[in-house]
Amino acid sequence: MQKLSSKISLLLLLLIAGFGLQAQSPCLAFARNIAKPLLGDFMHDGNYNATYLEEGESAELYKTFYEGQSYRLVVSVVDQLPNARVRLLDSKRNVVFDNANYELAPVWDFVAESTGTMIVQIRLPDPADDANIVGGCIAILFGVENTGRRR
């Protein structure tokens, strides 16, 4: 009986884990197939930052940048979502970049002025109609300028 109980527990655990992976996999596929090509010639840093958000929701991501290095920040949302507002903040939460000043541009190239961790804030606008809140995948990817040098 003990053996059967542990097998059932293991099966339930695997099913729960599988559902979690399935829920996340469409957003990861979206990041790989839609957002990553927007990095162009910039080398992808290897991290697929993707999640599901609904209108009116926001998220923050912390990322370390290195002085003098050129980066590309890409934010991609599924077609049914409005463009996301993206702000890059320094460690003191001062705004370094706000895409609201650039018609909500989804791509931004920049050179880090110092080494440190910065905060990427993503916010979807509030829904126009509370009865019809739309949600979907959003991906945030980073690329580093490919200088042709091998490390």
145's tokens: 């300028």
119's tokens: 């905060």
Map residue 42 onto helix, strand or coil: coil
Range of the domain at 57: 3-144
Q: What is the CATH number of the domain that holds 128?
A: 2.60.120.380
pLDDT in the model for residue 146? 81
Residue 96: inside a domain = yes
Residue that has been written with the tokens 């190239």 in this structure: 109
pLDDT in the model for residue 100? 95
Return the biggest CA–CA distance within the chain: 65
What is the tally of structural domains in the chain? 1
pLDDT in the model for residue 24? 54
Residue 150: inside a domain = no
pLDDT in the model for residue 151? 45
Residue 74: inside a domain = yes
The pLDDT tens digits along the chain (151 residues) read 555 555 444 444 444 444 333 345 789 999 999 999 999 999 999 999 999 999 999 999 999 999 999 999 999 998 888 889 999 999 899 999 999 999 999 999 999 999 999 999 999 998 887 678 889 999 999 999 987 655 4
